[in-house]
Amino acid sequence: MELLFTGSFDEAKQKAKMENRYLLVNVQKETVFNSQLLNRDTWSNEAVKDLVRRYYLLWQVYEDTRKCADYSMWYQAYEMPHVAILDPRTGERMAVKEGHIPPEVMRSWRS
């Protein structure tokens, strides 16, 4: 997906900070159907893509990877998929949504 930043959690925070955007974290689990729905329906929605391009740096990881371990050390993800907005300057988690997030809900979600 063209919206994704593929580096580490720390690299994502630094890039978001440099670009003066919020970090949009998406933790997924491969075996959870809602994670697949999020990719198929929400992240592929043109209005959501536009929202992400304007305000966020999107960092998506699977919950059982080393990259996710760095995020999980500081933040809890209870249900998959897990989507959070972080302020990259302070590390504050400003908002979180878990489970299926339809495109119409994501489009209205601004920091």
Q: What is the mean pLDDT of each run of 10 residues along the chain (111 residues)?
A: 88 97 96 95 95 95 92 91 96 94 86 49
Q: Judging by beta carbons within 10 Å of its beta carbon (0-12, 13-18, 19+), is residue 100 exposed, middle or buried?
A: middle
CB 63, CB 79: distance < 8 Å: no
Cis link prior to 81 (omega < 30° from 0)? yes
Among 79, 103, 82, smallest CA distance to 27 is for 82
pLDDT at 1: 57
Structural domains in the chain, CATH included, are 4-107 (3.40.30.10)
pLDDT at 87: 97
pLDDT at 110: 64
Cα gap 5→27, rounded to integer Å: 13
pLDDT at 2: 76
pLDDT at 91: 94
**Token pair of 98, please?**
């878990």
Cα gap 59→43, rounded to integer Å: 12
pLDDT at 3: 85
pTM of the predicted model as reported, rounded to 2 decimal places: 0.92
Q: Could you report how far apart the first and last alpha carbons of the chain are, in Å?
A: 22
